[in-house]
Each structure stands twice: as structure tokens, then as C-alpha cells.
Amino acid sequence: MPEYKAPLRDIRFVRDELLDYPAHYQSLPGCSEATPETVAAILTEGARFCEAVIAPLNPVGDREGCTWHPEGVTTPQGFREAYQQFVAAGWPSLAHEEAHGGQGLPESLSMAFSEMLATANWAWSMYPGLSHGAMNTLSAHGTPEQQQLYLTRLVSGEWTGTMCLTEAHCGSDLGLLRTRAEPLADGSYRISGTKIFISAGEHDMASNIVHIVLARLPDAPEGTRGISLFIVPRFLPDAQGNPGARNAVSCGAIEHKMGIHGNATCVMNFDGATGFLVGPPNRGLNCMFTFMNVARLGTALQGLAHAELALQGAVRYARERLQMRALNGPQHPELPADPIIVHPDVRRMLLTIKAFAEGNRALIYYAARLVDVVQHSTDDARRQEADELLALLTPIAKAFMTEVGFEAANLGVQVFGGHGYITETGMEQNVRDSRIACIYEGTTGIQALDLLGRKVLMSQGELLKRFTRVIHRFCQAQADNAVLQEFVGPLASLNREWGEATLQIGMSALQNRDEVGAAAVDYRMYSGYICLAYFWADMARVAAEKLAGGSTETTFYTAKLQTARFYYQRILPRTQSHRAAMLAGAGSLMALSAEAFLTDY
């Protein structure tokens, strides 16, 4: 596995120079404690922890995996000890309310730390990562008593949390779930059913696990309108709030997976387990969306993590690996061959990975900035705008970032050639670990339908206009900037085309609803490439200004400009193939009969 080094310089560039986080924090109530000095100290110490403690466990987790036994699940060697250090340092409490034991810092600061944690070791990071969503759910929907009992211990990291949605017969169609919740005389509920694919569902890292479970009450209406949300702890808390009697919930098996072996993905059996209602009856799915939206941004972060890890490994290897001579003659005549980084095709792969890693960092940190505004602003109009932008960008970030993160991980293997295919380099693990990101928290197709169907067409294009106006204002402001014309012109043209193509799909969908499903995935990729085009144009602006101002970091800022140019010339043209596909209609997709897919060989 490549030696992970936290990309602190690029993180600072995006946060401070591109998105002006220092001013952002000072403009929001409750965020003023995130001073530049505090932020710098947290990121520096976070980087040290991720590099020295968490990253070395990444190949260990892949090699050893988790072990099931009747009493529970044992995590790989070193995982539990690292979690104890994580809790002792106060990392779980970073972005949670002080009233519940948190440090009260902004969500976006936690997101920056989470990026480093995720890139260092995605499998390990999932254990505390699932707790984050459980905390947000209980903070928004739990009673004061539930918050005091469960939330404070989740915030401290003493306990961890999960989300239990999926059942064997239903994945994203939660209206089909069968897990039952029977009310008891004492106000609790008896939860019965089986959930599958439960990340961090059972482990030995914390003293208790708080499962957030979707189940159906006896008198519940059919479909998603009849789902309720419950807390089901692994151990029932005693009178002092400590883990007491074992609840009737157990891990039936660990899934045998393609990747993320260090994280226990469990089949969880609820055999009349004691649970406690969260939020109103039959409104569980609404409450769960608090959890799911956080999880979707967290999964988007996984796409960035695998691209960053691929970049670090591939660049180091390409600078050291000697093979053939440059086409224009030896670049290093003192060596028996040139490093492969001189070859155009290797450059193509490295720049593609770099463009995705750094572009997606800008996208996810922009989304995290919006989360801060939604959570902290007292300006209703500002909060509504941020919430609507976030609604549009979340499915784009989740689906686009994970798809191109997987592409970047594959390119990392390709740069290594045969050495990428073997275990020792760790690049093939990066591919295996990255593949799940396109599936869980809603597959690429589900996210695409959410984007085009629910967010864009059902809002009659208003949510899309929120972001196209951001791009339009940028293009207007930079219209006379000669340095940026190679970016501003194409971006403005695509921004107009985005709206026109959306209208065309919407008109077709009025006649045939299949047009939405037929166009959705290409529309989502098309949208993602345009989003990154905006961020790369803005990063080029900042870099050009820094160079014009006499910055001594000429290599760093010149690389930004050159990568932006590569993105526009070599990656952004992909939008046109996606546009052609999404406007081609549903005919060629739906004409073939189901029987014709299989022929008698």
C-alpha cells in the first residue's frame, strides 16, 4: 500500500484560498472558535494521527479481515487499539454540540479530518463514520432522554452506531421491508427481523453499539409511509447508563466481500430485541434521511479518498520506475532508461487522477461549506439557498465522485503495470475497496434518478438554477479576464446547454416517463463534469492571481493552471458523449424484450 501523506497544502488551498473558510467561519454563529490557528493545529495533528496510526493498518485489515465467532466479531490486529487512541484524542466529538459533550466545531472541519482518515484507511474509518450519521439523527429527532443516554456516549466515542436499512428481499426499495416492531406495555418495542449489509454491525472496538433500525408497526400503512425508526442497542443500558444485559440482537454472519475486508459487513438478526421509537410513528424514513444524507456525502468522500491514494502511489512509482526512453530522446541519459513519467500516456493517467482528486476535493468542501450554513446561519434566505444547493449537489457528489474515484483507482493500477496487479503495492486493494462506493447509500442509478427526477424535474428546474446561477455569476465576473478565457467561454456555453438539455428531457418525460430513467445516469455524469469544470476554472483563477502577485510557490500554482487546462481539453469533452446519450431517448433501451436478453446457446 502506498505510504499515505496527508495533502495538507492542497487542503489549505481549497479551504482558505478558494473557498475562504476563515471568513466563512467568522460569518456564522457558533463557528467563530474555528480560528485559523485552531484549524491549522487540528489539521496538522489529524494528519499525524492518520499517517502514523491509521494508515499502517490499511494492509493489515485487508490481509486479516474480521473474524466471526458466536460471541461477536474480532477486528484486525491493531484496529481496537487505534480506536482507543482516536477516542482518547477527542476526534469523535469534533463537530458535535457542546451540550452533548462535543467540541462545537463546524461540520466542514470534521469533513477535512474525515478525508484524511478515509484515505489513510477506508475500512477502519467506517467504524466511527457510521456513528456520525447516528449522532446527527438522534440530535435532530431523539428525545432529550435519548440524547442524554445515547447521544452523549456516541459523541464521546465510547459507543458506536450503525444504520440498519437493507433486507435480503429489498435494497433501495425500503417500502418492501418486513422487520416488525411490536409495542410493549412499558413503551418499548419488540423488534424482529433480519438486516443485511450492515457496516460495522458487530465489532470489539467499543463497549456498546447503537443500531438505528427501520421497522414496521402492526397497524402501519403499506409502503414507505408505514416505516418507523428505532434505537436498538447491542447491550441494554442499566440504571447508570452503562452497558447491561445483552439485547436480542446478534451478528449471524460476516459478508465475504470484494474489498474493505477490515470492516465487518454483517447480517444482523433482531430476535425480539428491545427497541425504542425515534421520532413520530410511521415517519421513520423522513427521520432516516438525516442519516442518509450525511452518509451520502461521506460516501462521496470515499471517491476522493481512493483517487488521492491512487495519485500518491502512482506519482511516486512513475517518478522512480525506469522503462524505455522518451520519444523525443533520453531525458535522463545518466540512467539506463527514463522514468515512466516522461511518457505521454503515463502523463494522461496521472493527470486524470490528479484532476479528479483535486477537483472533487473542491466539490466536497464546497458542499461541506453549505452544510455549515444550513446548520448555523440565522439568515433564513441564506440557509434556504444553501439547503437547496446541497439538495442538488448531494446526489451529484455521491454518484459522480465515486464513479470517477473508481476510475482513478483503476488508472493507479495501470500506471504500475504488472506491479499494480499484485498485492504488495496495495494498488489492487485500492480498486477493490473503492468499488463498493458506487453501490451503497444508493447506487449510481438510484442517485441519478434522485438528481434528475426528484431534484431537477420535480422542482421544475429551480434547484438546478440555484447552481447554474453560481456558474453564470462567475463567468460574468471573469468575462474580461484574459487569463481565464480558455475556461470561461466553454464553461458559460456548457452552463447554458445544461439548462437546455434538461428542458428537452423534461418535455420528453411528459410523454414517456421512461425517458427520465433512460437519461438519468448520463445526465448525472454530464452534470458532474460541468460541476468540476466550474471548480477547476475557479481554481485556475486563484492560481493565476497568486502567480501574478509574485508568489514564490510557482510550482504549486502553475500545476493548478496546467491541470485545469488538461481537464478542459482532455476530460470535459466527455460531456458531449453523455449529452448525446441522454438525449437519445428510451427507445433503444426499452425495445428489446426481456426474453431476448438470453438466448439458447
SS3 573: coil
Closest CA to 584 of 530, 535, 542, 526: 526
Closest CA to 432 of 256, 267, 314, 266: 256
Neighbours of 244 (CB within 10 A): 14
User: Is residue 505 within 8 Å of 527, Cβ to Cβ?
Assistant: no
**Residue linked to cell 459487513:** 265
Distance between alpha carbon 462 and the CA centroid of its chain, in Å? 25
What would the mean pLDDT of 163-188 be, rounded to a whole number? Answer: 88
Please report which confidence band the pLDDT of residue 291 belongs to, taking 50, 70 and 90 as the band edges: low
What would the mean pLDDT of 198-221 be, rounded to a whole number? Answer: 95
The pTM score is: 0.96
Asked if 441 is an active-site residue, the reply is: yes
pLDDT at residue 601, rounded to an integer: 61
Question: Does 293 score more than 70 pLDDT?
Answer: no
Q: In residues, how long is the chain?
A: 601
Question: Does 268 score more than 80 pLDDT?
Answer: yes
Q: Which residues of 57-86 are buried (b: 16+ CB within 10 A; e: fewer)?
A: bbbbbbebbbebeeeebbbbebbeebbeeb
pLDDT at residue 223, rounded to an integer: 83
| Lowest-confidence region among 38-42, 97-101, 231-235, 523-527 | 97-101
Closest CA to 295 of 403, 161, 467: 161
Q: For the purposes of burial, counting CB atoms within 10 Å of the CB of 239, is it exposed (0-12), middle (13-18) or buried (19 or more)?
A: exposed
* Domain map (residue ranges) of the chain: 444-588
What would the mean pLDDT of 427-438 be, rounded to a whole number? Answer: 97
Each residue's pLDDT tens digit, 487-507: 999 999 999 999 999 999 999
What would the mean pLDDT of 289-298 be, rounded to a whole number? Answer: 73
pLDDT at residue 8, rounded to an integer: 98
d(CA 253, CA 275) in angstroms, rounded, equals 22
Cα distances (Å, whole numbers) of residue 192 to 166, 213, 216, 229, 548: 14, 11, 10, 13, 65
What would the mean pLDDT of 140-161 be, rounded to a whole number? Answer: 96
- Compute the half-sphere exposure of residue 236: CA atoms within 13 Å on the CB side of its CA: 13
Return the C-alpha cell found at 98. 457542546
| Lowest-confidence region among 144-153, 173-182, 250-259 | 173-182
| Percent of the chain clearing pLDDT 90 (strictly above) | 89
Considering 145, 441, 462, 486, which one is annotated as catalytic?
441
pLDDT at residue 329, rounded to an integer: 93
What would the mean pLDDT of 99-120 be, rounded to a whole number? Answer: 95
Query: What does the radius of gyration of the chain's CA atoms come to, in whole angstroms?
Result: 24
Question: Does 173 score more than 80 pLDDT?
Answer: no
Q: CA end-to-end span of the chain, whole Å? A: 43
What would the mean pLDDT of 208-220 be, rounded to a whole number? Answer: 95
Q: What is the mean pLDDT of the chain?
A: 95
